[in-house]
Amino acid sequence: MSTSEPEHETHNTQAVKDLSDSQVRQYLRKFYYISNDISLDKEWGDLFTEDGVYIMGNKKAKGPEAIRKLRKKLFEDIPSRDHSPIKIFSHGNHDDDTELMILGTVGWTYHAGHGHEGDWAAHVKLHKGEDGMVRCAYYQIICVSILFLVKRGGWKIKKREEKGEGRPLVMDRC
């Protein structure tokens, strides 16, 4: 590990240590550091390629500016987040850390002061540009929360179609 890598080292980026590519390790440390800081909107968009895609639930943005706008909207109701990657799996051969599956936890706090914690996963595709920089080309957060109601005879999954919305109930914020 180079001496420049720990620049963004926090408790929530320990999972990256198992990746073989030092540029990817450094990028992911920076990614989650910036992800958790509401004041770093410009830097957040800069982490993505010009045609980068960011998906969370039914929300999708393409390109750094649209991704910045979506992030700003996501932080409106939740001013504080703390993402903690727990395990990172690399797709393909052992030396290629550009397509990843990441499992983690997140804690978030609402303006009123109460908070929650949850699990998340992300499918990530990174791109190494000709300039040597690593950027995110695709980031999809997989975060599902299903409301279970007790009913005679067992559990029932409450779906949005029961409310007339026609889709399963999914968590839109991680």
Most confident of 96-110, 135-149, 158-172: 96-110
DSSP 8-state class, residue 16: G
Question: How confident is the prediction for the chain on average, in pLDDT?
Answer: 77
pLDDT band at 119 (very low <50, low <70, confident <90, very high): confident
pLDDT given at position 7: 52
124/135 Cα distance (integer angstroms): 10
- Cα distances (angstroms) measured from residue 127 to each of 43, 49, 133, 150, 165: 17, 8, 8, 46, 37
Structure-token pair, residue 98: 């550009």
142/172 Cα distance (integer angstroms): 10
Hey, what amino acid is at 88? I
143/174 Cα distance (integer angstroms): 7
Of 6-10, 17-21, 101-105, 154-158, minimum mean pLDDT range: 154-158
Percent of the chain's residues with pLDDT above 90: 30
Of 7-11, 34-38, 40-44, 57-61, minimum mean pLDDT range: 7-11
pLDDT given at position 47: 96
pLDDT given at position 145: 54
Residue 60 contacts residue 73 (beta carbons within 8 Å): no
